[in-house]
Chains A and B, each alone.
Chain A
Amino acid sequence: MIATQSKAFRILLLLLCAHLLMPLALVWGDTLTWSIVITPKNSGKVIWAISSPPSSGTLVKSGKLTLNNGAFVDLTFQPNPGGTIESVFKNADNITDWLDAQKHFKFGPVSTSHVIIVKFSGGTPLPVDPTGNFDFSFPTGNPDLTAIANVSGNYEGVTPEKKRHYNVDVAQDESGKLAVMGTATGFLSKEGNPTISGNIGGISTVSDEPTAQLKGSFTGTRDGVPVTGSGTAKGPVETTDIGGGVSGVSATAGGSAKVSGVPFSIKNGPISYPVTPSQASHFHKSWSLQLNIQSKVNSNTGKPYIGATGQLLLPNGDTISYPERVVKYSKKGYSLNFTGGTNITIQPNKADKKSKVIIKGMTLEKQGQVWKPTGGTMTYQFLGQKGTGNLLDFIP
């Protein structure tokens, strides 16, 4: 009985210890979150630096810091010009008197989460609108982002199966529509001209990937037999390994034709063509956006405002310039809508109706003296294609 009681007691003690030690174990084994509360709103800022993970920044409004257990936390409290610090609390402890001359305190090594509440008074609120130059570019190596393809250029080669030589020049316009001109051994245009030319379809975004959908008609010979016909092909504008380490494009093709008057049709036939490095060099997917946000003064009214301009460099080398838009920085960040730009590569410059960039919820944080985007989404639409992605994925 005693033994039983003793055993029960030991189990109880063990459970109690486990219960008591659990939070400690969690604390030691996890990251910590410090909440910084600035009150009242827009009354000052808190400059912070953490030793682990090494990071720093400025909070202009209440926010949270995430740090590793055992880290040191440097906090500097700065009221707006003309203002003062009324109090700084760590949880329920008033630590105002512990701040040094620079209104700074170093905590650590820290092992628990805390709430720091700073109360400023007086002072003139500083404009908090983040400004600066922000460069975004499409990361061509990220398969999760929808690419925009430009395929203008020359494609010369030999077909794999019949060794027919082809030499085709392609022009892609601002809405993704393709015009071609070229020759292919054994094929003639409808009127018997060896040069085949015309509008053959275009490139659009299908299931988040640039997809070429083409059609064409031809006359020609195959093994000396007259052939006439028309066909369509559809496939992603993307090179993949088409076997044995050979890079190429794959598509499905269909169409109807007549061989010496005998009609036949093919549906969903697989086609793959090797793509030479020279041909692949014409698949352009890189593009970039230079965004400029500046504090300005309206020359008529004398009132300050924030103006945003943009320059979009397309995969085909054209630059679309977007004139200034008045923007406002809110809790959700900047929302910018660039449409109705001007193609400044085309001479004389031409209004661009087909390109569009929409940025939503672009939040920023000041790191050192520079504002850095911390969130948002970007929707981009040009060359007949479109995509959407996390803004941070476009930061070089």
Chain B
Amino acid sequence: MPPVSTSPVADAELPVNDLDACNGGRPMKTTDTTQRRLKFLPGSLWGRGLFGLGIILGLLIVTAAIVVLSVWVEDRFPSGDAKRSLVPGVQRVITKPIVDALSGQIERYVRSRAEALYMYTGLTLEETIARFLDEHVDLAERRIYTYRLASVGSPEAIAALLNVFRSAPPEHKAYMAQLIGSTGNPAAKEWLLPLLNEANERLAIAAIRGLSAIGGADVSARIAEILKDDQRSDRVRVEAAQGLGVIGTPAALEVLVEVFGQVSQEDVATQILKSLGQFSFPTIAKTFSDYLAAPETPEEMRVVAVEALVFSTQEAVPFLLGLAESDVSAGVRASAAWAISTHTDGRYLGETLAGLAEREQDVDVRRRLYEAMLPQVNILAERLLPVVQAENDIAARVAGFNAIGRAAGLEPSSVSAAVFDQQIVPELLQIATSENSLNIQMRAVFALRQARTDAAQDALSVIAKTARPQVATAARNGL
């Protein structure tokens, strides 16, 4: 059976003799094979060039398609999420590495934008070094170049940096230590580690801040030692606790949990809780749950613990809802409600929160529950209206007006929007324009801006002309 040609060019056009010539004119079996393989190529040089370009273009399109597909797959079915991933094994091998590579590029770009102020000063590196070393310029002005020099890390830059850094007065040295650390340059550890033992607390604190921004197991271990050392001042230990939260590794978490069980100083314990709160909720849930449930935990510290969860992950919300609903302490319930208000990913809690507000006896808790409703997509304004209108406390009342105003903004033709316009807008106008606390007045304006109804806009116009400057500006910004 004769071989079937896949080439658009006739077999006769193939330069068979040329190929044979390469083998010394001897006909070879492999030559025939190669010949057969290449016979689909165009005969002319131009044709082959175009063919090659087509292949490259095709590969690029295929690559782009794979990249887009990988991004799409990882976005919707992340391989890191066992419940959502489609084919975890394949995704880990193919799509995840592709997305990780893209992420790395974006991270570098974003970081370079963040560093722009420090890195792109309009001076060359040589000029920067010269200016940095110029003692005629106030150190407060030139210390900013520390970042660029530490980031570039060339021998000249480092020499200049250390020349000034080592002899700088403490207040400037502390500022520079933090800047050096924020470059993330691991070489800087060597310069900052000795400062951890400085008697000058300001320097030790700056070193902790700088080192924790760089991170690493060695830094984590040194900072952990400081946190555990009860001979160090509370101020330095507080900073160490903060630093471990910034480092955010499992080892740092372990140390924080360990020391938390032993520490007696309130300030240190407070900061440990705040640092623990920065970890993902599943990793800290037990610690927080046990601490909040312990009868010997002071109420003030329970509030600190709950508010620390503001910076944890969304998984904390069900736990916080449980506290907001049934904790015996009104302070803890209020804090839990406020913490929920800062978690804006789960936005379908409107009904639950409305139910809690209806049942809640404490006015401050109700106020925070109203605030928690703001990011929700389903604010049950009709249910809230009677509760809010019955509030005597001005802060709770204005918080409730914000929730109803937001609902009015989402559904301008609703009954609650009409009530808002007729009854609430005049009251908010009166609050914003007569003597009251700035915080209350600003929030009254926020409620009007949330609603965006005609009546609210009219009220904002009046406030913009008659209220005190900050309140008037806030009103003007809503017009």
A interface residues with partner B (beta carbon < 8 Å) = 152-154, 160-162, 167, 169-174, 177, 179, 181-183, 190-191, 195, 197-202, 206-208, 213, 215, 217, 230, 232, 240-245, 252-253, 258-272, 282, 316-318, 343, 345-348, 350, 353
Contact = CB atoms under 8 A, between A and B. Distances in A.
Interface string B411-446: 000000000000000000000001111111011011
A167 B474 CA distance: 9
Contacts of B104: 264
Contacts of B74: 261, 263
6 contacts: A181-B477, A241-B143, A263-B75, A264-B103, A266-B114, A346-B437
Interface in B90-111: 99, 102-104, 106-107, 110-111
B235 A243 contact: no
Contacts of B140: 241
A337 to B, nearest CB: 16
Contact of A169 (B238, B377, B477): B477
B342 A243 contact: no
Given A154-B470, A240-B175, A347-B394, A171 B443 contact: yes
B446 A171 contact: yes
Interface string B234-274: 01001100100010100000000000000000000001001
A316 B75 contact: no
A297 to B, nearest CB: 35
A174 B438 CA distance: 11
Contacts of B374: 197-199
B239 A169 contact: no
Given A266-B107, A269-B114, A318-B437, A244 B144 contact: yes
Contacts of A181: 446, 449-450, 474, 477-478
B338 A152 contact: no
Nearest to A268: B213
A239 to B, nearest CB: 12
B439 A173 contact: yes
Ranked nearest first, the 10 interchain pairs of A and B with the lowest CB-CB distance are A243-B144, A171-B442, A261-B75, A169-B474, A268-B213, A270-B182, A264-B103, A264-B106, A154-B473, A199-B341
Nearest to A244: B141
A199 B446 contact: no
Nearest to B117: A272
Contacts of A260: 71
B371 interface: yes
Contact of A268 (B179, B246, B395): B246
Contacts of B450: 181, 197
A5 B99 CA distance: 97
Given A153-B470, A258-B75, A160 B311 contact: no
A195 B434 contact: no
Interface of B: 71-72, 74-75, 99, 102-104, 106-107, 110-111, 113-118, 121, 140-141, 143-145, 147, 175, 179, 182-184, 205, 212-213, 215, 235, 238-239, 242, 246, 248, 271, 274, 307, 310-311, 338, 341-342, 344-345, 347, 364, 371, 374-375, 377, 392-395, 434-440, 442-443, 445-446, 449-450, 470, 473-474, 477-478
A341 B338 CA distance: 23
A259 B274 CA distance: 30
Given A198-B341, A206-B238, A269-B111, A262 B106 contact: yes
A167 B477 contact: yes
Which of A160, A270, A347 has the most B CB atoms < 10 Å from its CB? A270
Contact of B311 (A215, A259, A263, A266): A215
Contacts, number: 190
A214 B338 CA distance: 14
Given A161-B113, A215-B342, A268 B182 contact: yes
A350 B393 contact: yes
Which of A169, A183, A200, A252 has the most B CB atoms < 10 Å from its CB? A169
Nearest to A204: B274
Contacts of B213: 252, 268
Given A191-B377, A343-B437, A243 B246 contact: no
A182 B443 CA distance: 13
A182 B460 CA distance: 15
Contacts of B246: 252, 268
A1 B215 CA distance: 77
Given A232-B311, A271-B114, A169 B446 contact: yes
Given A171-B443, A282-B470, A346 B394 contact: yes
B114 A171 contact: no
Contacts of B473: 153-154, 169
Nearest to B147: A270
A161 B109 CA distance: 13
Given A181-B450, A230-B345, 9 more contacts: A152-B438, A154-B470, A160-B116, A161-B117, A199-B374, A232-B311, A243-B141, A270-B115, A347-B434
B118 A169 contact: no
B437 A259 contact: no
Given A171-B443, A181-B474, A215-B342, A270 B114 contact: yes
Contacts of B184: 268
Contact of A199 (B99, B106, B235, B342): B342
A199 B443 CA distance: 11
A195 B345 contact: no
A81 B182 CA distance: 70
Given A169-B473, A243-B118, A201 B342 contact: yes
A171 B431 CA distance: 15
Contacts of A317: 437-438
B389 to A, nearest CB: 16
Contacts of A345: 435-437
B395 A179 contact: no
Nearest to A270: B182
Nearest to B201: A207
A161 B344 CA distance: 28
Contacts of A282: 470
A243 B179 CA distance: 12
Contacts of A182: 477
A316 B107 CA distance: 39
Nearest to A177: B338
Contacts of B215: 268
B446 A179 contact: yes
Given A154-B474, A171-B439, A261-B75, A267 B118 contact: no
Given A153-B470, A253-B114, A348 B394 contact: yes
A316 B438 contact: yes
Contacts of A242: 117, 144
A350 B435 CA distance: 14
A169 B474 CA distance: 6
B96 to A, nearest CB: 11
B107 to A, nearest CB: 5
A174 B439 contact: yes
A199 B376 CA distance: 13
B310 A215 contact: yes
A212 to B, nearest CB: 13
A261 B72 contact: yes
Given A199-B342, A201-B310, A241 B144 contact: yes
Nearest to B345: A217
Contacts of A243: 117-118, 121, 141, 144-145
Given A161-B116, A269-B114, A346 B75 contact: no
A309 B377 CA distance: 48
A269 B110 contact: yes
Contacts of A167: 477
A264 B107 contact: yes
